[in-house]
Every structure is written in structure tokens, then in C-alpha cells.
Amino acid sequence: MKKPRRHMHDESGISLPEVLIVTVIVAIVASLALLQFGSSREQLRRQNVAQQLKQAFERARFDSVKRRAVGGGVPYAAVIVDSDSYTLVLDLNADGDTTDPGETTVTSFTNQTIIPGPGSSASLPVTISFDKRGEVAAATPIFMVCNVTPCSLSDNTPGKANVVVVTPTGTVNLLGGGVAIPTFTAPTLSPVGSGSGINEDVTMP
């Protein structure tokens, strides 16, 4: 009786070239992931600076409206914007000056840059002041916050910039890079005389 033959299959392991190819692919993927992580981190820092600048404008506007700022003895609240910093100037205790401790706050940064944004004719440093209505006296302030140095208007892209816009009425908008900037016009105010529109039935105590 014949014994059944056993067929031996050729079983081979992973070759050295295959190991090298896999190693190279893993290294490339890891490098791309690290580059993407670094880029995302820089974008997050830029967005934080832009958000903080927006909040500084909003705080200055609120302070001027609250104190009915008209200049002089009731100073305007303001934000002084430079390429690597911005300064928030308030009159926190409403004593008619902005020189008391804590009323001037300077925020500086090293990896981001601020430049005048698209359509702006301002040159840095520039002071943006708010009046008692919360309006800005200057033309619409537009600023680009970039995570590249040097920064130019050509860097107005989603990966490199955010845009902070202050409208003539004082509202502050934070836009992504490359977004079309809306056109804002100052509202028309109708003067009201001190003797018009008076209800004679209303008396003050």
C-alpha cells in the first residue's frame, strides 16, 4: 500500500526590500502628519490673536458708550494697533483720564503679524477710537492677522490670515482669510431739536 505523498509548499517570509519600502512609506506619512500638525497649531495661534484683537475693539467700544465719551474730559477708549502688538486704552474708573494702573494693556506676539487689510489706507501704528455712540471716526478699519512673516495682501488666504473689520457703526467682524469683505457705509443721522418731539403730558420728578 502506497503512502500518500505530502506536497511541500514554498513558504517564504517578508523580504528585505519589502521591509524597506514599508519603512519609507511610514516615515513619509509620519512626516506629513507632523507638518500638518505644525501648520494647524500656527493657524490656531493666529486665530487666537485675531479673536483677542476683536475682543479688544469690543471692550473699547463698550467703554466709550458706557461713559458717553466725547473726548477731552471724557476721553475716548481706543485700541492702538501695531505690526506685532496692540494696546487697549480705557478709562475704567471714569475719572477723565486713561493713565491709572490697569487702564492701558499691551498685548504682544512674536509668531504673528498684523498689517492693514484689503481696502485700508492706514499705516501702522494706528489708533482706533470710539465715541459715545460706539462709532469710529476714521474710515472702516481693516486689519489682517497673519501667521507668516513678512506678511502682504497676497497672503490673504484661509491658511495664512484672518481679517478683523470694524464697521463705521463700531461693530466688529472676524473673517476668514480670502473672504470677500463687505462694504459698510456710515448711517445717516437726522438731527433732532431740543424743542421737537416733546410730550407735554410727561413730567420729570
Please tell me the predicted confidence (pLDDT) of residue 82.
95
Task: Name which residue leads in pLDDT, 201 or 176.
Answer: 176
How many domains are there within the chain? 1
User: Which pLDDT score is estimated for 55?
Assistant: 96
**6 falls within a domain:** no
Does the pLDDT at position 36 exceed 50?
no
Local confidence band at 29 (pLDDT 50, 70, 90 cut-offs):
low
138 touches 78 (CB < 8 A): no
Residue 105 in any domain: the answer is: yes
| Identity of the residue numbered 49 | V
- Residue-level pLDDT at 198: 60
Q: Tell me which of 5 and 110 has the higher pLDDT.
A: 110
- pTM for this predicted structure: 0.72
Residue 89: per-residue pLDDT: 95
More confident residue, 110 or 196: 110
pLDDT above 70 covers a percentage of the chain that reads 75
In the chain, what percentage of residues exceed pLDDT 90? 46
Q: How high is the mean pLDDT of the chain?
A: 82
The per-residue b/e assignment along 149-170, b for 16 or more CB within 10 angstroms, e otherwise, is eebeeebbeeebbbbbbbbbeb
pLDDT higher than threshold 50 for residue 38:
no
For residue 52, pLDDT over 90 is answered with yes
| 125 belongs to a structural domain | yes
Whether 6 shows a pLDDT value over 60: the answer reads no
Residue 5 included in any domain: no
| 68 found inside a domain | yes
User: Considering the domain boundaries, does residue 186 fall inside one?
Assistant: no
- Look up the domain containing 101 and give its range: 26-176
- Condensed to tens digits (0 to 9), the pLDDT of residues 105-158 reads 999 998 899 999 998 888 899 999 999 999 987 667 999 999 988 899 999 999
Q: What share of the chain is helix, strand, coil (3-state, %, to 5)?
A: 25, 20, 50
pLDDT in tens, 60-91: 999 999 999 988 788 999 999 999 999 999 99
Cα dihedral 164, 167, 172, 175 in deg (nearest 10): -40
CATH of the domain at 33: 3.55.40.10
Q: For residue 198, is it within any domain?
A: no
Whole-Å CA distances, 162 to 26, 36, 139, 147, 193? 34, 19, 20, 9, 43
19 domain residue, yes or no = no
